[in-house]
Amino acid sequence: MTGDSATVWVVDDDRSVRFVLATALSDAGYVVSGFDSADAALSALDARPAPQLLFTDVRMPGEDGLKLLERIKQRHPELPVVVMSAYTDVASTAGAFRGGAYEFLSKPFDLDEAVGLAARVLGERAEADATAAPEVEPAGDVLVGDSPAMRQLFRAIGRLAQAPLSVLVTGETGTGKELVARALHRESPRARQPFVALNTAAIPAELLESELFGHEAGAFTGATRRHIGRFEQADGGTLFLDEIGDMPASLQTRLLRVLAEGEFFRVGGRELIRVDVRVIAATHQHLEALVEEGRFRADLLHRLDVVRLRLPPLRERRSDVPALAERFLHGAAERFGAAPKRFSQAATERLLAHDWPGNVRELENLCWRLAALAPADTITTSDLDGMLSSAREAGGGDWDAALRAWARDQLAAGASDLHAQARERFDRALLEAALEHTGGRRTEAATRLGLGRNTVTRKLGASRRPRRS
């Protein structure tokens, strides 16, 4: 395979279907993510680049697969979606194709058929891409930044890309560590080989070893086929290990040995596998402190940390905020097929003053929400009200504790109309979340909240009017 492996998403509430299909697809060399509901897949679509192919079940708790298909087609009309269902009646299949499905798979299906289908779809895409006029690089892959800190980083990436050294990328969550790893790969002599990413924290500890090193059929209960691990998938290319600080101790030992020797056995295997992989690790944690606490091996840290790239938090490079915001608003506009919105001068100043506890990811999510929700082409400060998180909100989901703290502060400050104020904010938070979720459709947002459409319209008016003055 040349270049980055294609990404495929599998949406099915049935864990076993998800597992076998994801395993078969990743054995075939694709980078696969699984989701147990339409909602989970849609939130992921908001937060990360879209996959090249998506498989979805039809009947799932919450929104069904056809609804998911409809929403995907609104946002990513070009993304091929394969609909899978045990209910192969005309209504289901016709519904799927009418909704823009690329193909319909009847359950139970043959795994080889599913993998063959993926290869066909992705092969067609690759051909189409190769003959198409060159496009600007997708927003997701370009590192934006002109601050002194980012310029220094770009120089370091340019230099480091050429040498096959291990790199440790550190920085708070959402600062762009994965993007830096991709840039190091893209600029390196390995660029035509695979870039394979694995988030150590996202995989259950008991599956991590086989995810990294693969397993043979029969290695453990449930291992019905040979599975090629990420190390082998990345052979000749780059392996990005995200959240390395979360790696369990036993695996740290094994990883250290593999890095030292360049060879390993698959789980349950007897054949010694040799690979040539450049490892880039990332963490938002302070690894030296973990070493002191005995939670991270010092020798592994030294092996990964041949060169360290520190990504500054966004609040330390505020001058990058306007260019990043513009980039994200353009990206969103392109996806929605609309003209890009822009921030008013005052709104830009608000963005510059914000501390961005969620860093670039927070800014990106904000821009996407505003691209969908802000009523006019120019985004004003009132559109931003309630949208910029405080460090406390970003950190935890305990909203009634936050509410109590807010009430105490207000009372201490002598406020007297607390209930009205709190209700206004409560309504606005629910409404905005629901409208965001439904892509701005009010009737549906009302249904999901259990409110009448008129109530929603009234509340929207009530919550927007005072802020718009």
Residues 6+ apart with CB under 8 A from 420: none
Q: How far is the CB of 299 from ligand ATP (least distance, A)?
A: 24
Q: How far apart are CA 199 and CA 215, in angstroms?
A: 19
Closest to ligand ATP by CB, 12 or 242: 242
The token pair at 434 is 């629901």
For the chain, what is the largest distance between any 2 Cα atoms, rounded to a whole number of angstroms? 74
Closest to ligand ATP by CB, 70 or 178: 178
Three-state DSSP class for residue 408 = helix
Q: Where are the alpha helices (DSSP H) in 32-147?
A: 38-47, 65-75, 90-98, 111-131
Closest to ligand ATP by CB, 216 or 242: 242
Q: How far apart are CA 441 and CA 435, in angstroms?
A: 6
Closest to ligand ATP by CB, 327 or 342: 327
- Taking each helix axis from N to C terminus, what angle separates 148-162 and 177-186, rounded to the nearest 10 degrees? 40
Q: How far is the CB of 100 from ligand ATP (least distance, A)?
A: 26
Closest to ligand ATP by CB, 194 or 358: 358
Q: How far apart are CA 191 and CA 181, in angstroms?
A: 12
Closest to ligand ATP by CB, 38 or 360: 360
Residues 6+ apart with CB under 8 A from 322: 343, 348, 351, 352
Closest to ligand ATP by CB, 214 or 312: 312
Q: How far apart are CA 308 and CA 258, in angstroms?
A: 21
Q: How far apart are CA 52 and CA 125, in angstroms?
A: 8
Closest to ligand ATP by CB, 80 or 176: 176
Residue with the shortest CB distance to ligand ATP: 176
- In eight-state DSSP terms, residue 245 is G
Q: How far is the CB of 177 from ligand ATP (least distance, A)?
A: 3
Q: How far apart are CA 369 and CA 387, in angstroms?
A: 9
Question: Rule CB under 6 A: which residues touch ligand ATP?
Answer: 140, 143-145, 171, 173-179, 242, 284, 324, 360-361, 364
Tell which residue, 156, 131, 128, has the closest CA to residue 143: 156
C-beta separation of 264 from 213 below 8 A? yes
Q: How far is the CB of 294 from ligand ATP (least distance, A)?
A: 24
